Each structure stands twice: as C-alpha cells, then as structure tokens.
Structure 1
Amino acid sequence: MVAALIVLTWLAACVPGGSVETEAPAPVAFDGERARAIVADQVALGPRVPGTDAHARAGEYILARLQAAGWQADEQPFEDQGRRLRNLIGRGSAEGGPLVILGAHYDSRPVADRDEAGSGSPVPGANDGASGVAVLLELAQVLPVEALDYRLWLVFFDAEDGGGLAGGEWILGSRYFAAAVQESPAAVIVVDMVGDADLQLYYEARSDQALAAQVWETAARLGHTGFIPQPGYSILDDHVPFLELGIPAIDIIDFDYPYWHTTEDTLDKVSAESLEQVGRTLQIWLTELDPAAWPGPE
C-alpha cells in the first residue's frame, strides 16, 4: 500500500574536454539551529491566536519565507463564525507526478487551560505550533524539490487549536483544506509538537501504520532515537480529515510534552537537536521515496 524507498545517488559527471570526474554537490542538510531560530521568530510575534495582529504577521512571515526559498506561496481564505482565516500553501517547483503534502498548524491556543493557576492567558506556542512550522520552513530551504519525482506541497493550517473552549472547534483549517482539495494526495504527513528536548515520538494510533513505519525506519537508520516504534496515543489532529477521506496520513507528534496548553510552552523548552532529528528524517525520507509506486487512496 505504500511506496518502496529508493536511494538517490549523486552521479559523477565528466568535464567536457577532459577525463576528470567531479561529483555533484552534496545536498544541504537540515539544520536544527536554523529551525530553532524560526521558532524564535514566531514566538517573538506573541501568541498567534486567530484574529490577532500577531497571527496575521505570522502568516505574512510564513509566506515571505516560502517565497524567499523559491516556492510558490498561496493563501486559501475561509471563514468561521465571522472570523477571517486562511491556510497557507507552499508549492514546490516540480511538475507532474503524485502529490505529497507536509502539514503543520501555525496558530496558537487562545487560552492556557491547563495552567494550574488558571491565568486565562494565551499559550506562547513555542512547541505547540511554532515547532512544526519551523520544520516545514527549514525543509523549504534544503529540499531539492526540482529533482523530486512528485509534487510536494507545504501546507500551514489555520485554526487548529481552538477546540474545547467556548465556541471553539479543533482542526478547522485542515478540515476546510481536505474538503476543498481537488485531487487526493498520495500521502499527508503532519508535524506537531516536535521540539521537546525529551523527544518521544510514538506511532500515533489513528495514523496509517505502514506509512508511519517507513518514516520511523528512516529515523532508525539515521540513529534518531526520538522516534520510538511503539504504539502511542490516539490524537485528533490535522491528519484526521485526510484519513476520513481514505488518504494515507500520519501525525508526527510528541504528546508527552508536559507544557502542552500552558503558559510554560516557551522558547527555552525547544531543542534544536530534536527539531533536527525530525527535519533530517523527513528530508531523507522525502528524497528517497518513489510515490509513483503507491496505489494511492482507496
């Protein structure tokens, strides 16, 4: 049901007029420190609660970084209860072939409802929100999208984190996107809460387990111990609307993060090494896979 992996080889080329062989440049590696700086940029804006200035500026920041990295950057506007919301989409330069989507939510929770003190303050969202965005934006810098045999989109979902609050719902942006997308992706990978120094990424229970196994096997090959190939929680996250449509989708998430939905979800809790484990795993997996071999959604 899922693709066989292929290893990209960098072929030596002959210099015209001579016999000297040169190797193609090595690919640029995902850098955890650069990704953490992207987390810091988002946190510096303030809580990215939909409808706030910080949320709007976070969207503009994402679009600007996508454009600077050479991706086509688009908005998908929608409304909920009078609020103007927007998903953000980065499209790589590759043309033709199946579609693969990486997703992350860029909003942060309006109220830190798990604070013991019950402050009512919004969540800073360093790990829950900013870490997934940072992984995707750093991948936008390092992925050789023009050399891929498929189309890759980076989708930044709005309004994921309002559920459980008065008048709020979960995963609004991904539900809207999944309902509106005009073709079925071959696979969807959601990245959420991946910056904790004590990184523990288990198989999320709702996820497509065969697809998850491929990603976790790639992490094991790279020596990334934050990926733990054991069953974990069942989580309502941005991968679920795609699963409901029969699309293979997984959620890469550390749900044992102790500062989830508290005012302590701050930049000091985010580890560059953890971001790098996730980013490099995805970088290698994406450059090795052959989605043309996938049968696609049933």
Structure 2
Amino acid sequence: MLRGSSPRLGLLILLLIGACRPSAPAGGRTFDGREAFRHVQAQLALGPRYPGSPGWEAVQRYIEEHVTREGWAFEVQPFAAAGLSGRNLIARAGRGPVLVIGAHYDTRRRADRDPERPDDPVPGANDGASGVAVLLELARVLDRSRLRYEVWLVFFDAEDQGGLEGLPWILGSTHFAATMAVTPTAMILVDMVGDADPQFYYEQHSDPALREQLWRIAAELGYGAWFIPEPRWALIDDHLPFLQRGIPAVDIIDFDYPAWHTTADTLDRISPATLEAVGRVIERFVEREPDELEAP
C-alpha cells in the first residue's frame, strides 16, 4: 500500500483502553490477543517471507497446519502475474452468504524506506504478520454454530512487492477477486493491525456503511479511542479489487506507523492488546444475530 505522513497520538490511549478491555463471555472461546501475538512471534521466527524465500514456503505450511487443525477446509490458489509466481491460501467454514476476511502474508523483499539498510528484507511484524495472526486466531475462536456467513479466511500473497523492479501492488488479491466463482456479500481486510500505539481511522476507499458498522462495534466493545471514525488515508490495498467488483469492502489499518517498509518493523512494536481489539471487533461482527446488525 502507499502512504503519506500524519501526527502520532500518545501512548496514554493504550494505557486507558487497556484498563477497560471487555471481559470474555462465559463459556466458549473468545479472541485472545496473547494467542495472536504468539502467531506473530512464530512468523518472525521463520525469517523474511517474500515470494520465493524459504520463509515464504514455511509460513504457508504454518498457516495450513493451523487452520486444518481447527477444522477449516483449506485450499491453495497458485497464480502468476507480472513475472512473479504466488499462492493465495483460503480457509472456509460456516454456511450462508460468503464473507471474506483477508490479510496478506508476504513481507517486503527490500526495506526501501530504511535510511541505513534499504536493501535488507523487512521483518514484517506489523506489515504482514499481524493480519495473519488475527486470521489464525479467528480460525480458532469463531463459533460455527453462530456464524451468519460462510467465512473465507483468505491469506493473500504478493501484496507488498509493489514498486520493486516495477512490480505492481496487490497481485494476489487482484487475481483472487478476478477469479471468484461466488460473489461475496462483503470483505474485511486487516493490515498493519498490531501497533502498540493504535489509531484506526476510516480508510477513504472503504465502503461507508460497512465501515461504520465495524467502528460502531469497536465503540460498543470499549475500543472507541482506537477506532477513530474520521477519514484519513486512501490506500492501494487488498480491499480495492473487491470494491472494483461492487463488493462492500473495508480496510482496517493503522497507517500511522513510522517503521513501515523499514527493518524496524519488529516484534517489540506489536501489542497483544491491539491484536485483541481488532480480533474481537471482527468476531463480534461475524457472530452477531441478524436482528442485531444490518447486513452489509
């Protein structure tokens, strides 16, 4: 995705919200930020995960092992675009209209915004691993007896190689959206959702009605100071190919992130509390009763 610049909010927000995190419901599983954080750790332990790298192969196995262990149907979608070979990964569960929840799993091959090490690969703690971690924890906790949708967890490849040797952005999601045999009712993208100083503004391309529903849920759950209902960025990201097909889509992203596309995108910048906030908002959206929330 492409970015600009913006002022940061203080870490005081993190402390205030952490004091009023919603408690887990009685019985059953609920999204646990500590579990999601462990998925971030595991991905970083695999090394860089740009297409063709050993870490890229390893993270695909990691994703498949986790989602199949949780009982999700799993599929690999190979593709070739702009001279690059990639693989989208899809996990499916539930019944009803299709809801896509997506994240990219590739990391950037070169940290071209790094002032000192621009040729090194990006570790991708936030830009890559955080979104994957949210999807993997959702695979564990979603109550299939309460799903309003057939949920597709889609791990997109080759999102983050844009601008390197002339490569376009969002190759995996572009291929996926163009080849879908079923039209989803909506799409939710999570990208860069682990920053310890979170500020989730409205992404300007995102579908307004669906965006407002998700931010309203965040406020109901006590995350209103993190989910700020004001427009900021207009981004090239994996939700765009769905919007271009007329599918309501939202990008949940904290783009006020100084470590973006640098070697400083490391584990120490990731907060389990932020991962948990994002995961619980999506969990609540997916499992709400139809009369509680209008359909997207």
Q: TM-score, normalised by structure 2?
A: 0.88
Task: Name the residue aligned to 2:91.
Answer: 90
Task: Give the conservation status (yes or no) of the 8 Å contact 1:104–1:190.
Answer: yes
Match of 2:170 in 1: 171
Which residue in the other structure is 2:9 paired with? Answer: none
Q: Which residue of 1 aligns with 2:147?
A: 148
Corresponding residue of 1:103: 102
Q: How far off its partner does 1:27 sit?
A: 3.0
Give the deviation of 1:25 after TM superposition: 6.4
Q: CA deviation at 1:169?
A: 1.4
Partner of 1:34, secondary structure, is: helix
Partner Cα distance (1:266, 1:136) in 2: 19
Q: Which consecutive segments of 4 or more residues in structure 1 shift more than 6 A?
A: none
1:189 and 2:188 equivalent? yes
Structure 2: distance between partners of 1:187 and 1:58 = 26
Correspondence for 1:233: 233
Task: In structure 2, give the amino acid aligned to 1:220.
Answer: A
Partner of 1:199: 198
The Cα shift of 1:146 comes to 3.6
CA distance in structure 2 between the partners assigned to 1:118 and 1:90 by the alignment: 36
Q: Report if the CA contact (8 A) 1:212-1:250 is conserved.
A: yes
In 2: Cα distance, 1:115 partner to 1:82 partner: 26
Gaps of 5+ in 1: 1-23
For the pair 1:249 / 2:249, whether they are aligned, the reply is yes
Letter in 2 for 1:274: T
- Whether the 8 Å contact between 2:200 and 2:253 is mirrored in structure 1 is yes
Structure 1 stretch 129-138 or stretch 161-170: which is displaced more? 161-170
Alignment of 1:200-219 (within 5 A): 200-219=199-218
1:73 aligned residue = 74
Aligned to 1:8: none
How far off is 1:90 after superposition?
0.3
**CA shift for structure 1 position 118:** 4.2
Contact 1:35–1:272 (Cα < 8 Å) also in 2: yes
Q: Which has the larger radius of gyration?
A: 1
Equivalences, count: 270
Q: Is 233-242 or 158-167 further displaced after alignment? A: 158-167
Say what the alpha-carbon RMSD is for the aligned residues: 1.7
Residue aligned with 2:115, SS: coil
Percentage of pairs with the same residue: 53
1:134 partnered with 2:133: yes
Aligned equivalents of 1:75 and 1:46: distance in 2? 22
How far is 1:150 from its partner? 2.0
In the alignment, the residues of structure 2 paired with residue 272 and residue 149 of structure 1 have an alpha-carbon distance, to the nearest angstrom, of 27
1:262 aligns with 2:266: no
Given that residues 105 and 157 in structure 1 are in contact (C-alpha distance below 8 angstroms), is that contact kept between their aligned partners in structure 2? yes
Q: Distance in 2 between matches of 1:108 and 1:78?
A: 18
1:11 — aligned with what?
none
* Aligned-partner Cα distance in 1 for 2:289–2:98: 12
Partner Cα distance (2:58, 2:117) in 1: 28
CA distance in 2, matches of 1:84, 1:119: 24
Is the partner of 1:128 in helix, strand or coil? helix
Question: Aligned AA for 1:221?
Answer: E
1:285, distance to aligned residue in structure 2 (A): 1.2
- Secondary structure of 1:132's counterpart equals helix
